């Protein structure tokens, strides 16, 4: 089981010299195993590169999981090559937060106005599905569960398990407690945090929204994003092996992210790294 980062930014793509090292594309992660259908976590602008690579592989089955439909997680779908190719079999799964299902919601973007192509024009065979929080489901060889997060309009985390290996994708979310209580208040985890710790428990890799510093979070508590110390507290209690700091702020230059990585370089349980575009983590090792 391997995890490759194709987009690590939040909010908006930020190409340019200041961000060339960690990459400027927005959220998109590939989960793969040799000979197995690819699982894609979110379709931010990073999905464009991944889509081109999938065309060159023999598998024609692809599974897309959306945490939510903010544009930084959706924009790449209109440039994800497999959806335009006959013979591809694609599933699209999103949380059931809204009475309109994923086909209707994505159709407001792929509608001929905001993008030249409409959903009925796509050549691949595409199935859309809504899932309820915490109900396990299967996509190809991947066992998946979800967990409701703390984000404006809703978002959900996904845990993917296969053959004893696991990845958990936790974005976009503010802490599940507030200053003065729970882990965000420097105390013991509250009820929802205990549920999240159980959900994450023992994962080989957790990818966590750390868009803000703690000081920024205190200024923007309703924006729905976390900070590194919070992710570290959750993942330490959950006995996670590796933690990827993710959903970097558009303003976070390579220098800022290098300094963030250096600050956590000596942490061992979990080990901590700053997610970088085109980086692959092999979870079998
Ligand atoms: Zn986002
Ligand atoms: Zn969002």
The DSSP call for residue 97 is -
pTM equals 0.98
Centre of ligand 1 to C-alpha 9, Å, is 8
Task: Name 48's Cβ contacts closer than 8 Å, sequence gap at least 6.
Answer: 25, 76, 79, 80, 81
Give me the pLDDT at residue 98, please: 84
Name the CA radius of gyration of the chain, rounded: 18
**Alpha-carbon distance 171 to 282, whole Å?**
21
Measured at the alpha carbon of residue 193, what is the angle toward residues 263 and 152, in degrees to the nearest 5? 85
Length of the chain: 285
Q: How far is the CA of 133 from the centre of ligand 2 (A)?
A: 17
What is the full per-residue pLDDT of the chain (285 aa) written as tens digits?
Answer: 999 999 999 999 999 999 999 999 999 999 999 999 999 999 999 999 999 999 999 999 999 999 999 999 999 999 999 999 999 999 999 999 888 999 999 999 999 999 999 999 999 999 999 998 878 999 999 999 999 999 999 999 999 999 999 999 999 999 999 999 999 999 999 999 999 999 999 999 999 999 999 999 999 999 999 999 999 999 999 999 999 999 999 999 999 999 999 999 999 999 999 999 999 999 997
Ligand nearest to the CA of 153: 2
Q: What is the pLDDT of residue 134?
A: 78
Nearest ligand to the C-alpha of residue 13?
A: 1
**What are the CA-CA distances from residue 226 to residues 10, 74, 170, 213, 264 (Å)?**
12, 21, 10, 8, 16
What is the distance between the alpha carbons of residues 39 and 61, in angstroms, rounded to a whole number? 9
User: Half-sphere exposure of residue 225, counting CA atoms within 13 Å on the CB side?
Assistant: 22
Distance of CA 92 to the CA centre of its chain: 14
CA of 12 from ligand 1 middle (Å) equals 8
CA distances, 260 to each of 13, 14, 55, 212, 248 (Å): 20, 18, 35, 11, 11
**Regarding beta strands 2-7 and 28-32, do their DSSP bridges make them parallel or antiparallel, or are they unpaired?**
antiparallel
Ligand nearest the Cα atom of residue 10: 1
Residue among 98, 108, 38 nearest 71 (CA): 108
**Residue 38, preceding peptide bond in cis (omega within 30° of 0):** no
Return the half-sphere exposure (C-beta side, CA atoms, 13 A cut-off) of residue 143.
7
Ligand 1 center–CA 208 separation, angstroms: 11
Burial class (CB in 10 A: 0-12, 13-18, 19+), 254: middle
In degrees, to the nearest 5, what angle opens at C-alpha 147 toward C-alphas 142 and 149?
A: 135
Ligand 1 centre from 247 Cα, in Å?
A: 7
Question: CB neighbours of 121 closer than 8 A, spacing ≥ 6?
Answer: none
What is the pLDDT, as a whole number, of residue 117?
Answer: 95
**CA within 13 Å, CB half, 240:** 30
**Residue 84 in tokens:** 């335009």
Tokens of 124: 């691949």
Ligand 2 center to 87 CA (angstroms): 32
Query: How many A from CA of 201 to the centre of ligand 2?
Result: 24
Query: What CA–CA distance (Å, rounded) separates 86 from 126?
Result: 10
Query: What is the C-alpha separation between 70 and 29, in angstroms, rounded?
Result: 16
Provide CB contacts within 8 A for 237, sequence distance 6+: 189, 197
């Amino acid at each position: 089981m391997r995890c490759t980062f194709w987009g690590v930014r939040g909010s908006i793509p930020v190409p340019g010299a200041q961000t060339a090292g960690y990459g400027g594309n927005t959220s998109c992660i590939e989960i793969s195993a040799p000979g197995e259908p690819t699982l894609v976590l979110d379709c931010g602008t990073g999905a464009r590169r991944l889509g081109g690579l999938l065309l060159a592989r023999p598998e024609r089955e692809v599974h897309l999981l959306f945490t939510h439909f903010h544009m930084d997680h959706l924009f790449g779908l209109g440039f994800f090559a497999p959806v335009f190719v006959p013979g591809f079999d694609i599933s699209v799964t999103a949380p059931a937060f809204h009475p309109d299902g994923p086909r209707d919601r994505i159709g407001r973007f792929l509608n001929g106005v905001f993008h030249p192509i409409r959903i009925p024009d796509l050549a691949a065979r595409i199935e859309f599905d809504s899932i309820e929080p915490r109900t396990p489901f299967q996509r190809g060889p991947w066992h998946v569960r979800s967990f409701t997060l703390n984000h404006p309009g809703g978002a959900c985390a996904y845990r993917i398990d296969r053959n004893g290996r696991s990845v958990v994708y936790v974005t976009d979310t503010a802490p599940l407690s507030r200053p003065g209580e729970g882990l965000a208040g420097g105390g013991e985890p509250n009820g929802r945090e205990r549920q999240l710790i159980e959900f994450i428990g023992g994962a080989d890799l957790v990818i966590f929204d750390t868009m803000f510093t703690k000081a920024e979070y205190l200024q923007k508590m309703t924006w729905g994003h976390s900070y590194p110390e919070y992710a570290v507290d959750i993942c330490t209690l959950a006995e996670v092996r590796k933690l990827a700091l993710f959903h970097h702020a558009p303003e976070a230059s390579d220098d800022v992210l290098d300094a963030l990585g250096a600050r956590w370089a000596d942490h061992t349980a979990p080990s901590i790294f700053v997610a970088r575009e085109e980086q692959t983590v092999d979870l079998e090792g």
